[in-house]
Chain A
Amino acid sequence: MGSGFDFKVSVMWESVPILLTGMKLTIIITVLGLVSGFILGTVFGLMKISRNLFFRKLGGFYVESIRGTPLMVQVMFIYFGLPLAIGMRVPPMLAGVTAIGVNSGAYIAEIVRGAFQSIERGQTEAGRSIGLTHLQTLYYVIWPQALKRMIPPLGNQFIISLKDTSLLVVVGVGELTRTGQEIIAANFRAFEVWLTVAVMYFVMTMSIAKVLNVIERKLEI
């Protein structure tokens, strides 16, 4: 090749140990972000189907405003914008987890709402007819069934959020993408390093997909 490009597998191998530290952070941010996203999503998703108009509006506002703006802007807002208003620096890690949590929460809220609404009304009626309260019916009757229906779309969201963590590069969180950038800044081997980074993301998303497959088969979804 006249351009002088020579592909070196050894560069890929050499970058792995450092990239692994970034991958570890990517996993931590994803897990923390999704746990918060799941909590937010459940709360706001239930608000959207609440009988109370105020809660319905609030849930709608959250979902629409987050879904309607780019994650990149949300990240920048939390990291660069918010500190000016609250007069306090937001550590990059916290900003990252918050952004992923708030962002995935909006999508998860829609997943939760859809799953709850897909449970036949007869289930609620059966629960209420044996004397369960509204909340007991939600908890013992509807929630377990809805959760099962939520698993495939949740898996999808987990994969999206994991990849979204790469955007946190803009606030300097040392996750996988950022680590890759740093290695390239030192060795200029963009081809090998980005390829390695891509493979590592792929391994993580495939693992999520595989785990979900097993769960789905176990639960006979």
Chain B
Amino acid sequence: MTTTMIEIDNLYKRFGDLEVLKGIDLSVSQGEVTVIMGPSGSGKSTLLRCINRLEEITSGTVTVDGYDVTDPETNINFVRTEAGMVFQQFNLFPHMTALGNVTLGPLKVRKMERGEAEKLGLDLLKKVGLSDKANVYPDHLSGGQKQRVAIARSLALKPKVMLFDEPTSALDPELVGEVLEVMKQLGREGMTMVVVTHEMNFAREVADRVIFMDEGIIIEEDAPEAIFSNPRHERTKSFLGKVI
């Protein structure tokens, strides 16, 4: 039995006159790893950001774990704890240590006791391989370490879905692997993930499905092997030709 975790129905997003998403339909099941690819400006990041309403939705509906994100009655802050997000630029809080970053959510959103939050935080830092960096400030971490702290920070809310917005694009090539490793581990543990990335190997190894977007619509979706070895659309072909 599969439960639907994210349901997107006829989603439109406009920035002024610019229509960025033009009728997206997408359903993500629990435990599924979905990779979104597409050229820059195709709307993939915007789509991701509509899922936790970092962008206001122009029309259509988005539900996360049954909660209607577009409904003004919905407590959006609660939905955001259900759908963690990892950003391209990490966006760690520079005035807090790694542990401080990870425990802020548990302390202020979940109202956890400090001791309990710190235990959770240390466990998560251990999980992402950064036990020894708990008291280090982001300025003294490498890009890969920052991104792993950012992942731990999101996981601290015990989300049901994780959204990754080009998590390795801002990293030096030699640091990409350590972040992907953590993400693969999450995927194997059954976390529902939507990942905007151009990392083919990650898609091949972990993704259940690859979605290809261009100009605000989904033009093709398939299992990774199928879409990489046998893309049906011209635009997918030409894009994959450039990326590989």
**In the assembled complex, which residues on chain B have CB atoms less than 8 Å from the CB atom of A120?**
89, 91
Contacts A129-B52, A132-B105, A148-B95; A122 near B87 (Cβ below 8 A): yes
Contacts A125-B54, A136-B108, A140-B104; A130 near B80 (Cβ below 8 A): yes
Q: Is the CB of B54 within 8 A of A130?
A: no
**In the assembled complex, which residues on chain A have CB atoms less than 8 Å from the CB atom of B77?**
128, 131-133
B28 to chain A, nearest CB (A): 18
**In the assembled complex, which residues on chain A have CB atoms less than 8 Å from the CB atom of B61?**
none
In whole angstroms, how far apart are the Cα atoms of A128 and B78 in the complex?
10
Chain A binding surface, main DSSP class: helix
**In the assembled complex, which residues on chain A have CB atoms less than 8 Å from the CB atom of B78?**
131
Measured CB to CB, the nearest residue on chain B to A220 is B139
Measured CB to CB, the nearest residue on chain A to B100 is A140
Contact partner, A130, options B89, B94, B95, B157, Cβ 8 Å = B157
Measured CB to CB, the nearest residue on chain A to B107 is A140
**In the assembled complex, which residues on chain A have CB atoms less than 8 Å from the CB atom of B92?**
126
**In the assembled complex, which residues on chain B have CB atoms less than 8 Å from the CB atom of A207?**
none
**In the assembled complex, which residues on chain B have CB atoms less than 8 Å from the CB atom of A123?**
91, 93
Give the most central of A122, A125, A130, A140: most B CB within 10 Å: A130
Q: Is the CB of B80 within 8 A of A131?
A: yes
Interface positions of B (Cβ within 8 A of A): 52, 54, 77-78, 80-81, 84-85, 87, 89, 91-95, 104-105, 108-109, 150, 153-154, 156-157
29 A-B contact pairs sorted by A residue (CB < 8 Å): A120-B89, A122-B89, A122-B91, A125-B54, A125-B85, A125-B91, A126-B92, A126-B150, A126-B153, A128-B54, A128-B77, A129-B54, A129-B80, A129-B87, A130-B81, A130-B105, A130-B154, A131-B77, A131-B80, A131-B109, A131-B157, A132-B77, A133-B77, A140-B104, A140-B108, A141-B104, A144-B95, A145-B94, A145-B95
The 9 A-B residue pairs with the shortest CB-CB distance in the complex, in nearest-first order: A126-B91, A131-B81, A122-B91, A130-B105, A131-B109, A129-B85, A131-B80, A131-B77, A144-B95
